A = this chain, B = another copy of it.
Amino acid sequence: MINETMEALMMKIAVDAMGGDHAPKVVVNGIERARDQHPDLEFMLFGDPAAVQAQLSNPERITIVPTTEEIEMGEEPVRAIRRKKNSSLVRAAMAVKNGEADAFFSAGNTGAILAAGLFIVGRIKGIDRPGLTSILPVALPNAAQATRFVYLDSGANAESKERNLVQFAQLGRFYASQVLGVANPRVALLNNGAEADKGDSFHKAVHQLLAADDSLNFVGNVEASELLHGKADVVVSDGWTANAALKATEGTAKLVLHLLKDGILNGGWRAKLGYVFLKPVFKKIAKLMTPSNYGGAVLLGLKAPVVKAHGAADEKAIVATIDQIQTMLTSQVVQKTAAYFQAAEENGQTVDKPGEN
């Protein structure tokens, strides 16, 4: 009886065991650690059975599903998912589509994950385009604020329409309230200029649409210079701008830390001694500025959680990403989002308030 209840509460994650720079080793080891922490999770590991088996120390709640192909990092995504039907990535996505698994995880080819999410797992009714969602750190938190925020579309769509960004705002506020636990999430638009009348014609129009949507706690524009300043819990943007701003932010943080390291290495004994004393400060900043500590990137707007870890993700990052998927599943964020869009379609407009559902 207890076993049957347990069985009913169990959630199953389909894992592309061959995706990522250090697959399958890091993926399998990470999944085992996550399994040990989450008694409510089961895993299907899609991949070369011999290679996956060789890394597996304990098969509890883990099923290996043999596949014969792999999608490489450089492959053209749509062609790859069409041709490699027996790849670990496509088969894992198919398991979600067929109801054999509740969520999809991969550290592989980003484009192929997006394509598999869109064409295999499928969109929530009412969503035109899913948005790639990054969870980013708030670098200047105060006591009242969350330490993370939701950022989308960080690059699923090179070209966006105005209504896509309104949908991103809805997707983002459900994620912030349900998964990050933020009540009444503040939503902002990434724009070149802080005032409402700033930006090109596209972003001016989006600003108006977001401001007019009563279901959103819209707080106005944020500029790329203050992306990590904690001005909002959800920052929406078209995929083009968000991708450029995110790459510039990550690249510059990395660069400044690199320059520090370089200066220390070439700075003689004084600099090296200084480093010893300042090491905890450096470590804290490096940790803050490492996005993989905040979980994977989620393709929001799909019928199930589709989550991507960085190709270079280590075991710890994979465990963090599985934690995130577990929260997405237990919070039922996808179902709640789908219900909102269904109600919106039926009513012709939205009525519920963010953070209250």
Interface residues of A (CB under 8 A from B): 139-140, 155, 158-159, 190, 192, 199-201, 223-229, 240-241, 243-260, 263-264, 267, 270-271, 273-278, 280-282, 284-285, 288-289
A140: which B residues are within 8 A, CB to CB?
Answer: 255, 258
Question: Could you tell me if A192 and B259 are in contact, using CB atoms closer than 8 angstroms?
Answer: no
Given contacts A260-B281, A277-B273, whether A228 and B252 have CB atoms under 8 Å apart is: yes
Instruction: Indicate the member of A249, A253, A256, A258 with the most B CB atoms within 10 Å.
Output: A256
**Which residue of B is nearest A198, CB measured?**
B158
Residues of B within 8 A of A253 (CB): 252, 255-256
Q: Which of A159, A229, A285: most chain B CB closer than 10 A? A: A285
A309 to B297, CA, bound (A): 40
A253 to B255, CA, bound (A): 9
Given contacts A225-B250, A244-B244, 19 further A-B pairs with CB under 8 A are: A139-B255, A155-B192, A158-B199, A158-B201, A192-B244, A200-B240, A224-B248, A225-B247, A245-B245, A245-B248, A248-B248, A249-B249, A263-B278, A264-B281, A267-B278, A267-B281, A273-B274, A274-B274, A274-B281
Closest B residue to A160 by beta carbon equals B200
Is B289 in contact with A256, judged by CB distance below 8 angstroms?
Answer: yes
Contact status A228-B245, CB under 8 Å = no
The complex is assembled from copies of this chain, and their number is 2
- Separation of A257 and B240 alpha carbons in the complex (Å): 28
CA of A278 to CA of B190, assembled, Å = 36
Q: Would you list 22 pairs from A and B whose C-beta atoms are within 8 A, ordered by A residue?
A: A159-B200, A190-B244, A192-B240, A192-B243, A223-B251, A224-B244, A224-B245, A224-B248, A224-B251, A228-B251, A241-B241, A244-B248, A245-B245, A252-B253, A253-B256, A256-B256, A256-B257, A260-B282, A263-B285, A270-B278, A274-B276, A275-B278
Give every chain B residue within 8 A of A245 (Cβ-Cβ).
224, 244-245, 247-248
Contact flag A278-B288 (CB < 8 Å), given A158-B199, A247-B224: no
Residues of B within 8 A of A240 (CB): 192, 200, 241
- Decide yes or no: A251 and B271 within 8 Å by CB, A192-B240, A200-B158, A201-B159 being known contacts: no
Q: Which residues of B contact A249 (CB under 8 A)?
A: 248-249, 251-252
In the bound complex, CA of A149 to CA of B280 (Å): 35
In the complex, chain B residues whose CB is within 8 Å of the CB of A284: 263
Chain B: CB-nearest residue to A284: B263
Residue in A240, A248, A251, A267 with the greatest tally of chain B CB atoms within 10 Å: A248
Q: Give the top 6 A-B pairs by smallest Cβ distance, nearest first.
A: A274-B277, A225-B251, A263-B281, A274-B278, A248-B248, A252-B252
Considering the complex, give the chain B residue whose CB is closest to the CB of A240: B200
- In the bound complex, how far is the Cα of B156 from the Cα of A293, in angstroms? 37
Measured CB to CB, the closest approach of chain B to A193, in angstroms, equals 9
- How far is B247's CA from A190's CA once the two chains are assembled, in angstroms? 12
Which residues of chain B are within 8 angstroms of A258 by Cβ–Cβ distance? Answer: 140
Residue of B nearest to A264 (CB): B281
| A248 CB → nearest B CB, Å | 4
